[in-house]
Amino acid sequence: MGSFRDLTVYQKAFDLAMRIFDTTKRFPVEEKYELTDQIRRSSRAVCRAIGEGYRKRQYPKHFSSKMSDADMENTETQVSLDFALTCKYISDEEYQKLLNGSEEVGRMLNHMVENPGEI
């Protein structure tokens, strides 16, 4: 079997984390240690949890737990996107694109949690 990098969910989560990184470069400096850092860390944590879980895929319960952790971090990213929109750091269009990407990753993670033997 291949690498966690071959998983579509990993590729989409990684792309989303990189788009968030680029977007947050424009956030105000006073948000550096709060919103900017937090959204970057949570979006990257999704990728990390997918990679960690993939290494334990022979243990379905552990794998499901890691995918659940990834989904939790993904939800945290969505909350940060809500703050970024409300604070007017991103446009409605940017928000919708990033949120749509995050929701797609979330659906894929949820499927993996419910069907750990399919990977």
Per-residue pLDDT tens digits for 23-46: 999 999 999 999 999 999 999 999
Q: Which segment of 12-16, 19-23, 57-61 scores lowest on mean pLDDT?
A: 57-61
For the chain, what are the domain ranges? 4-117
- Token pair for 76: 């945290």
- CATH superfamily of this structure's domain 4-117: 23S rRNA-intervening sequence (1.20.1440.60)
- SS3 at position 35: helix
- Token pair for 5: 């990098």
Contact 33, 60 (CB under 8 A): no
Query: Given pLDDT bands bounded at 50, 70 and 90, which one contains residue 2?
Result: confident
pTM above 0.85, yes or no: yes
Quick one: average pLDDT of 4-19? Answer: 98
Per-residue pLDDT tens digits for 75-115: 999 999 999 999 999 999 999 999 999 999 999 999 999 99
Q: Which of 87, 84, 112 is nearest to 98 (CA)?
A: 84
Q: Which of 16, 1, 23 is nearest to 46 (CA)?
A: 16
Per-residue pLDDT tens digits for 47-85: 999 999 999 999 999 999 999 999 999 999 999 999 999
